[in-house]
Amino acid sequence: MAGRAVEGAAEEIAEGQDAVGILGRSRAVVEPELRAAVTSLPASMRRIARYHFGWEHPDGTPAAGNAGKAIRPALVLTAAAALGGPQARASAARAAAAVELVHNFTLLHDDVMDRDTTRRHRPTAWTVFGDADAILAGDALQALALGLLAGDPHPASRAAAARLAACVVELCAGQQADTALEARAPGEVTLAEVLAMAEAKTGALLGCACAIGALYAGAGEEEVEALDAFGRQAGLAFQLIDDVIGIWGDPARTGKPAGADLAARKKSLPVVAALTSGTPAATELAELYARPHQEGEEERAALAVERAGGRDWAQAQAADRMSRALHDLSRAIPDPRAADGLLALAEFVTRRTA
Amino acid sequence: MAGRAVEGAAEEIAEGQDAVGILGRSRAVVEPELRAAVTSLPASMRRIARYHFGWEHPDGTPAAGNAGKAIRPALVLTAAAALGGPQARASAARAAAAVELVHNFTLLHDDVMDRDTTRRHRPTAWTVFGDADAILAGDALQALALGLLAGDPHPASRAAAARLAACVVELCAGQQADTALEARAPGEVTLAEVLAMAEAKTGALLGCACAIGALYAGAGEEEVEALDAFGRQAGLAFQLIDDVIGIWGDPARTGKPAGADLAARKKSLPVVAALTSGTPAATELAELYARPHQEGEEERAALAVERAGGRDWAQAQAADRMSRALHDLSRAIPDPRAADGLLALAEFVTRRTA
């Protein structure tokens, strides 16, 4: 196993170990699996799924396509390659597609629940096809994902399916916690609660993706758990940085206006850190959050979060989570050359600063 | 196999082969599996699921419980017993629970989409917990179902999971067709379309339940497919009778007012048969359906459906479907004694006439 891992890593290095390259090569392997799975759907469900993935316009004509960066399937393939070499990577293509299907099922449903109208720079599926069709297409994608694994003869597919199903339950609990926390008064939300929510909502699937890659490489339980922990911590770091961008980010680069999260009164991680800081700026922020947003007030709110230490806290937390992630990574894959691809992906997802 | 099947059938006969007895014995086996699976959910999801199953009140205190007749898991167990005897029946308990979890996931989601406010004589989950929580609990139950099968060491569990996942996709397409047909003008809906919708929405899961039972008995592909066909045809017969009850049924026995489907302008099977009959009564019914329902008009509408031949057609169709079901059943299980339990269940679900 170790020999094959090093060999696989060497090949990855020869091919270029930058994250953009890894993501591109991963999409080349996963997209055919994904398209084949979606093509197997009945026409009514296929139409909505193809629109959601950016492959088709609402009328069914082909679209240029922006199905997202597909980080999760890249984590599956890269984890498999790191622990089992190119053969393990190749064997995990269907499992990688299953993980991406689960991610997209949650996006379809989250957009309905959150009433989000834009996804990947296009109107969300529910705004085009209605709530019922978006819910049903999401249901069908979850079934497709777990069905893909049930039909995969690889010896790891059963354990992967059990893990992915458990992860779906955790994602649901995370989304439930998110909506429940948003409905509560700002002063009644603790930092521990939003961190737990972010781990369930974002960390769990990144961790599951890495763990499934390890399973397809035939890795032992300790390595599988260490890679799950790596993905979870990297996912939390990603969420912290994403929340920072949601307040101070550059709209030209992020596609959403700076301060949008503040205007929407979102209880993102830096905001809750600020609100629970016990500083005068926390009081000012709490007062702002207690009344509806007024045009042009974002800057004042952002300054209050910053003065209350929310920005510094989030950045320090992100760095701390990344260092925990690297520790978990080295537990699973002691050879730094073999771990290089996963490291590049973790750095890529957390380096999206404005 | 045949010897064991006869032995199993003999035992079932000894225990009483009536449907009510079969259903009761099935619930005794399946409910512990179901409760254990639901208990494994995170608290937020568990609460909604327990309410939905009738085990708890909204505040989490225990309720007397009315989780429905649980016909689908009884079909799984009875099919397994018919083809593989008591040992096969015992081995299929987890799979039976998985089928019931899928059924309940679709109920949770359908109630949200259809805005139905009552289920099993209680307020639906979305009216108590909100749309988002009901959608998420449904998502979690689907994951739980397919996760149960992934964690089941029985050699048939993989094939059962693939079949159940494919069935979920069909259920989604059926529900999509239902909402799409309801949104169309009454004159633009064909009988073939509503029959196909009813097969996907109702027949598919009954067929899948029987097929999974056969898989757990180690049956061959032909027997599995024949039992799937049996369940589908029985499911269609059930839907036809259910639609007849929805128009002419006794509210005291059905729990819903007679004519409710007509007042809601539902394009149920007898209605579409009437509308497409080319009779003068069809024209009268089309005129009624073209305008909003007026208090007390149900009787006139019911009479129009009857004069247009909708009632007779539905009853003849139901009888025809049942005879097809029996033919499929005898293909899968030639020994009438072994087939007796499945026959009793099929007759039970279709004998709900007013």
Determine the Cα–Cα distance for residues A139 and A128; give it in Å rounded to an integer: 17
CA–CA dist B28, A63 (Å, integer): 53
Q: Are B167 and B193 in contact (CB under 8 A)?
A: no
* CA distances in angstroms from A7 to A4, A211, A281, listed in the order given: 5, 21, 54
Cβ-contact B98, B146 below 8 angstroms? yes
- In angstroms, the Cα distances linking A215 to A62, A92, A178, A224, B182 are 36, 9, 30, 7, 46
Note the pLDDT of residue B10.
Answer: 46
Contact assignment for A162 to B147 by CB distance below 8 Å: yes
When pLDDT is cut at 50, 70 and 90, the band that residue A295 belongs to is confident
Residues of B in Cβ contact (< 8 Å) with A149: 150
Q: Look at A4 and B110; give whichever has higher pLDDT.
A: B110
Q: Please report which confidence band the pLDDT of residue A2 belongs to, taking 50, 70 and 90 as the band edges.
A: very low
**Contact: B172, A133; criterion CB under 8 Å:** no
Q: Is A236 on the interface with B (CB under 8 A)?
A: no
What pLDDT is recorded for position A186?
85
Backbone angles phi, psi at A118, to 5 degrees: -130, 135
Which residues of A fall within a CB distance of 8 Å from B173? 41-42, 44-45, 136, 140
| Shortest alpha-carbon distance between residue B46 and chain A (Å) | 10
Phi-psi region of B44 (alpha: psi -120 to 50; beta: other; left: phi over 0): alpha
B353: pLDDT strictly greater than 80 = no
Using the predicted structure, report yes or no on whether residue B312 has a pLDDT greater than 60: yes
**A–B: how many Cβ contacts below 8 A?**
141
Is there a contact between B162 and A187 (Cβ–Cβ < 8 Å)? no
ipTM beyond cut 0.90: yes
Q: Return the residue of A nearest to B109 by Cα.
A: A135
What was the pLDDT predicted at A64? Answer: 84
SS3 B119: strand
A138 shares contact with chain B (CB less than 8 Å): yes
Which of B132, B143, B149 lies nearest to residue A168, judging by beta carbons?
B143
Q: Does the pLDDT value for residue A335 go beyond 80?
A: yes
For residue B67, pLDDT beyond 90? no
Average pLDDT of A116-120? 92
Q: At residue A8, what is the residue type?
A: G
**Yes or no, beta carbons of B176 and A41 under 8 Å apart:** no
At A278, give phi and psi (nearest 5°).
70, 15
pLDDT, position A296: 84
Q: How far apart are CA A90 and CA B55, in angstroms?
A: 46
**In this structure, what token pair is assigned to residue A323?**
């260092």
* Segment B49-59 mean pLDDT: 96
User: Which tens digit of pLDDT belongs to each residue from A229-283?
Assistant: 999 999 999 999 999 988 988 656 655 667 888 988 999 999 999 999 999 999 9
Range B306-314 average pLDDT = 97
Chain B CA closest to residue A41:
B169
Radius of gyration of chain A (CA): 20
| pLDDT, mean of residues A104-125 | 95
Is-contact A169 A106, C-beta < 8 A?
no
Burial A102-121 (b: 16+ CB within 10 A, else e): bbbbbbbbbbbbeeeeebee
Output phi, psi for B56, to 5 deg. -140, 155
* CB nearest B45 (choices: A140, A150, A176): A176
* pLDDT for the residue A352: 54
B133 contacts A146? CB cut-off 8 A: no
pLDDT surpasses 70 at A339: yes
For residue B115, the distance in angstroms to the closest alpha carbon of chain A comes to: 11
**Percent of chain A beyond pLDDT 70?**
92
pLDDT at A255 (0 to 100): 59
Q: What is the DSSP string of A299-316?
A: HHHHHHHHHTTHHHHHHH
Give the separation between CA A276 and CA A283, rounded to whole angstroms: 9
Choose the closest CB to B136 out of A146, A151, A176: A176
Asked if A196 reaches chain B (Cβ–Cβ under 8 Å), the answer is no
pLDDT for residue B7: 45
Per-residue confidence band for A187, with pLDDT thresholds at 50, 70 and 90? confident
Predicted confidence (pLDDT) per residue in B113-155, tens digit: 999 999 988 999 999 999 999 999 999 999 999 999 999 999 9
Please name the member of B135, B165, B169 whose beta carbon is closest to the beta carbon of A135.
B135
Number of Cβ within 10 Å of residue B3's Cβ equals 8
Measure CA A12 to chain center.
23
pLDDT at A1: 36
Domain boundaries of chain B, sorted by first residue: 2-350
- pLDDT tens profile A149-185: 999 999 999 999 999 999 999 999 999 999 999 999 8
Whole-angstrom distance, CA of residue B270 vs CA of residue A222: 60
Beta bridge partners of A122: A119
Residue A323 gets the label, from left (phi > 0), alpha (psi -120 to 50) or beta, of alpha
Partners of B123 in the β-ladder: B118
Per the listing, tokens 């026959």 go with: B343
Say which amino acid occupies B221. Answer: E
Whether B137 has its CB under 8 Å from any CB of chain A: the answer is yes
CA of A173 vs chain B CAs: smallest distance (Å): 6
The torsion of the CA quartet A333, A339, A345, A348, rounded to 10 degrees, works out to: 120
Whether residues B150 and A131 touch (CB distance < 8 A) is answered with no
Phi and psi based region of residue A294 (left: phi greater than 0; alpha: psi -120 to 50; beta: remaining): beta
Q: A27 is written with which tokens?
A: 């999409």
pLDDT band of residue B165 (cuts 50, 70, 90) is: very high
The CA distance from B159 to B228, in Å, is 14
Dihedrals phi, psi of B258, to nearest 5 degrees:
-60, 140
Half-sphere exposure of A18 (CA within 13 A, CB side): 3
Structure-block tokens of residue A187: 């002063």
Q: HSE, CB side, 13 Å, CA atoms: give it for residue A308.
A: 25
For residues B210 and B75, the answer to whether their CB atoms sit within 8 Å is yes
Band of pLDDT at residue A67, cut at 50, 70 and 90: confident
Cα(A236)–Cα(A317) distance, integer angstroms: 9
**pLDDT band at residue B261 under the 50/70/90 scheme:** confident
* pLDDT reported for residue B15: 47
CB contact at 8 A, B338 and B6: yes
Residue A143 at interface with chain B, using a CB cutoff of 8 Å: yes
The total number of residues shown for chain B amounts to 354
Cα A243 from Cα B65, distance rounded (Å): 44
Average of per-residue pLDDT values in chain A: 92
Question: Nearest chain B Cα to A132, which residue?
Answer: B113
Distances from the Cα of B203 to the Cαs of A43, B78, B197, B206, B233, in angstroms?
Answer: 19, 17, 9, 5, 7
Residue linked to tokens 């101070």: A248
Q: Please, which pLDDT band fits residue B351 given cuts at 50, 70 and 90? A: confident
Distance CA B96, CA B89 (A): 10
Rounded CA separation B274/B308 (Å):
5
Q: How confident is the model over B84-119, as pLDDT tens digits?
A: 999 999 999 999 999 999 999 999 999 999 999 999
DSSP conformation letters of B235-289: HHHHHHHHHHHHHH--HHHHSS-TTHHHHTT---HHHHHHHTS-SHHHHHHHHHH
Dihedral angle sign, alpha carbons of residues A66, A117, B174, B75: positive
Is the per-residue pLDDT at B17 higher than 80? no
Tokens standing for A307?
Answer: 């003065």
How far is residue A276's CA from residue A297's CA, in Å, rounded to a whole number?
21
* Residue among A294, A288, A252, A348 nearest A23 (CA): A348
Establish if A132 touches chain B: CB-CB under 8 angstroms.
yes
Q: Report the percent of chain B where pLDDT is more than 70.
A: 92
Is the CATH number of domain A2-350 1.20.1250.20?
no
**Strand B122-123 with B118-119, pairing:** antiparallel
In angstroms, rounded to a whole number, what is the distance separating the alpha carbons of residues B140 and B137?
A: 5
B109, B140, B161: residue with CB nearest A135: B109
Query: Quick one: DSSP state of residue B184?
Result: S
- Return the pLDDT at B68: 82
How near does any CA of chain B get to the CA of A197, in Å? 12
Non-local (6+) Cβ contacts of A80 within 8 A are A88, A89, A91, A92, A213, A214, A216, A217
